[in-house]
Amino acid sequence: MESALKETIRQKASKSLGISPEDARISKSYLFVAFAALLLGGILGLLQGLNRAGLLELPSWLNYYQVLTAHGVLLVLVLTAFFTIGYFYAGLSHTLGGLLPKVRKMAWIGFSMKIIGFVFAVIPILMNEASVLYTFYPPMAAAPPFYIGLVLIVLGVWMCAFGAFINVANWRKNNRGKNIPIFSFFATGVFVLLFFGSIPVAIEVLTIIPWSFGWVDTINVMVSRTLFWAFGHTLVNIWYLTAISAWYVIVPKIIGGRRFSDTLTRIVVILLVVMNIPGGFHHQIIDPGISEEVKFLHVFMSLSIAFPSLMTAYAMFSVFERTGRRKGGKGLLGWYKKLPWGDVRFLAPMIAMISFIPAGAGGIVQSTNQLNQVVHNTLWIVGHFHLTVGTSVILTFFGISYWLVPYISKRTLTPKMNRLGVIQTIIWTVGMLFMAGSMHWVGLLGAPRRTSYTTYGENATALGWDPFMILIAIGGTLLIVGVILQVYAVFHLMFRAPKGDTEFPIADKEDDDTSTPYWTERWGQWIVLLLLLVAMGYVLPLVEFIIDAPPGSPPFKTW
Ligand code: HEM
Ligand SMILES: [Cu+2]
């Protein structure tokens, strides 16, 4: 009780003081880059959609695969990384009583490293020397600066992860025996995953660099792909964990309710962090040379992530129902009418959650050996991740932006901007229904992903895909309208909206919530467990790939 009281007083104090200008500047810069990436990446996405529908021929100086590489890099690497860091740093500052000066410096060094790395990576992409797609697997080889840029980006992310660890450790030193505030608990989980999840890709890139320079002749493709997906699969769950931090902590406050059980929330975070990394082979289900047992193990681990997801679904709907009933909602479903559907800060993450239901089901389909054979490398996959990251995650980020950007800019969300946000959310949802829906369907009919417009010599099957491709182009056109509205909203909230104080909305626990056991704080143990599971998933296959190595591959330029 006493600690709850202190907590409230502290929150009140930091609420009235707001975020310090130094901390705000960090988050503002990160979010600015994130939304600039959305604008550029969105325009490129539209070009792809129109090209694949046969509606637009790209000029001779712009290659489809070059555009696709930039679209992937801008949206899944730049947008998500910069948003995640800007968001969590604002929340660390808010819940831990400000960032330490040292941590601020690290955030800026990290920022510069990522920007310099990005410039290094982008120049060869612009020169069509790095159209290797955002997955950059060997044997396709880009010009060396592309990989050097990636190394700098990873180091920049590590800088931010360590900054977060230092700030959290400092808080713990000053608050012995206490659970860290729930938002910072999520941040810790995300940065732990970011750090450990990006070690494999760092190793991969370090082995690619000498090969792309021509200092070594060949590379072990199986090892590279495996290291990539140990990272890629983790990255997906980093986005997911970031999104659910807002679902568990922020959304209940916005609807005027309380959080779901604090202990359960922390267990979900721990499970997602610990079980995550050894799932990467579900992206390589039809790769040759990997034993069935290992594939099975990884599929098991990936599906075990569905367990905390189901816990999340239960928790969220429980919060909605409780809150709706407290506000007078009657009957079996009457509570849903009491939810603030006209508030973009609720509507966007709510649609995000709902779209995660089919998105998650699609993920289970892909993790199933037999079904994977049907959808592998078809447009189904592209539909899947536009639903997961392009809708569940991004719509949550959009919803966050309507309070986070005013919060760090000391401005307010006006009813007019809120209305614009609601319209934006609806346009995005409809656009994605068209685009991702058609992609799923045409993927089942066999249309391949990552392929520019072709009719395969007027082949009848390929011609049958055309109507769906037109729907994809229509969806893409709606989405670009959504992108422009969203970027306008962020720009407006950052620089133009009326001055004033906006709250960082963190929901309280229920009054009758049980106290949280302190063992949830043992991050050292969770990390040991994480490493053990990583060893279980990866040591044997990697040793096998290296000892019984397939013939190495020279670099190829396929575009
Ligand atoms: C204006 C909105 C968007 C449009 C019109 C769009 C359209 C497309 C199209 C047509 C493709 C694929 C093509 C192919 O396989 O040939 C694609 C690929 C992709 N998109 Fe989007 N997209 C949009 C937004 C997003 C967002 C918000 C994200 C993630 C945050 C995203 C992530 C990706 C990724 C990762 C790929 C795969 C790249 C690859 O295969 O290497 N897209 N997009
Ligand atoms: Cu995965």
- Name the DSSP class of 133: T
What span, in angstroms and rounded, lies between the C-alpha atoms of 441 and 28?
Answer: 39
- Say which range, 26-40, 79-93, 508-522, has the weakest mean pLDDT: 508-522
User: In the block, which residue shows the tokens 């050996």?
Assistant: 369
**Largest CA-CA distance found in the chain, in angstroms, rounded:** 75
> Which atom of ligand 1 lies nearest, measured to the CA of 452?
16
Residue 16, number of CB atoms within 10 A of its CB: 8
Q: So what's the pLDDT on residue 305? A: 86
- At 1, is the pLDDT very low, low, confident or very high (cuts 50, 70, 90)? very low
Contact 134 CB / ligand 1 (< 6 Å): yes
User: In the block, which residue shows the tokens 């089919």?
Assistant: 358
Contact 390 CB / ligand 1 (< 6 Å): yes
Q: Mean pLDDT across the stretch 12-16?
A: 48
Q: Which of 40, 48, 52 to mutate to test the pocket of ligand 1 (most atoms within 8 A of CB)?
A: 48
Q: So what's the pLDDT on residue 332? A: 86
What span, in angstroms and rounded, lies between the C-alpha atoms of 264 and 276?
Answer: 18
Residue 148 predicted with pLDDT over 50: yes
Q: So what's the pLDDT on residue 71? A: 98
CA distances from 62 to 54, 134, 140 (A): 16, 17, 19
> Which atom of ligand 1 lies nearest, measured to the CA of 64?
16
User: In the block, which residue shows the tokens 């049980």?
Assistant: 514
Q: Which residues contact 346 (CB under 8 A, 6 or more apart)?
A: 251, 254, 255, 339, 340, 399
What span, in angstroms and rounded, lies between the C-alpha atoms of 32 and 284?
Answer: 35
Query: What average pLDDT is seen over the chain?
Result: 95
Query: Rg of the chain over CA atoms, in angstroms?
Result: 23
- At 17, is the pLDDT very low, low, confident or very high (cuts 50, 70, 90)? low
The two tokens of residue 119 are 């410039």
Q: So what's the pLDDT on residue 2? A: 47
Residue type present at position 466 = D
What tens digit of pLDDT does each residue of 486-517 get? 999 999 999 999 999 999 999 999 999 999 99
Cβ contact 101:154 at 8 Å: no
What tens digit of pLDDT does each residue of 292-315 get? 999 999 999 998 888 899 999 999
What's the 227 CA to ligand 2 centre distance in angstroms?
13
CA distances from 185 to 8, 20, 254, 538 (A): 18, 21, 20, 27
Looking at all shown ligands, the one closest to residue 52's CA atom is 1
Residue 414 predicted with pLDDT over 80: yes
Q: What is the pTM of this model?
A: 0.95
What span, in angstroms and rounded, lies between the C-alpha atoms of 312 and 400?
Answer: 19
What's the 483 CA to ligand 1 centre distance in angstroms?
13
Contact 75 CB / ligand 1 (< 6 Å): yes
Residue 349 predicted with pLDDT over 70: yes
Looking at all shown ligands, the one closest to residue 302's CA atom is 2
Q: Which residues contact 548 (CB under 8 A, 6 or more apart)?
A: none
Rounded percentage of the chain residues whose pLDDT exceeds 90: 92
Q: What residues are paired with 448 via a beta bridge? A: 378
Residue type present at position 75 = L
What tens digit of pLDDT does each residue of 239-294 get? 999 999 999 999 999 999 999 999 999 999 999 999 999 999 999 999 988 999 99
Handedness of CA 451, 456, 462, 467 (dihedral sign): positive
What tens digit of pLDDT does each residue of 160-203 get? 999 999 999 999 999 999 999 999 999 999 999 999 999 999 99
Q: Which residues contact 339 (CB under 8 A, 6 or more apart)?
A: 255, 320, 323, 324, 346, 350
What's the 383 CA to ligand 1 centre distance in angstroms?
9
Q: So what's the pLDDT on residue 11? A: 47
What span, in angstroms and rounded, lies between the C-alpha atoms of 497 and 493?
Answer: 5
Q: Which of 58, 66, 75 to mutate to test the pocket of ligand 1 (most atoms within 8 A of CB)?
A: 75
Handedness of CA 62, 68, 74, 79 (dihedral sign): positive
What tens digit of pLDDT does each residue of 431-445 get? 999 999 999 999 999
What tens digit of pLDDT does each residue of 450-493 get? 999 999 999 999 999 999 999 999 999 999 999 999 999 999 99
- Say which range, 10-19, 96-105, 500-509, has the weakest mean pLDDT: 10-19
**Which of 383, 468, 453 is CA-nearest to residue 64?**
453
Q: Which of 46, 65, 229, 386 to mutate to test the pocket of ligand 1 (most atoms within 8 A of CB)?
A: 386
- At 333, is the pLDDT very low, low, confident or very high (cuts 50, 70, 90)? confident
Q: Which of 382, 450, 454 to mutate to test the pocket of ligand 1 (most atoms within 8 A of CB)?
A: 382
User: Hey, whose CA ends up nearest to atom 43 of ligand 1?
Assistant: 45
Residue 4 predicted with pLDDT over 60: no
What span, in angstroms and rounded, lies between the C-alpha atoms of 169 and 266?
Answer: 18
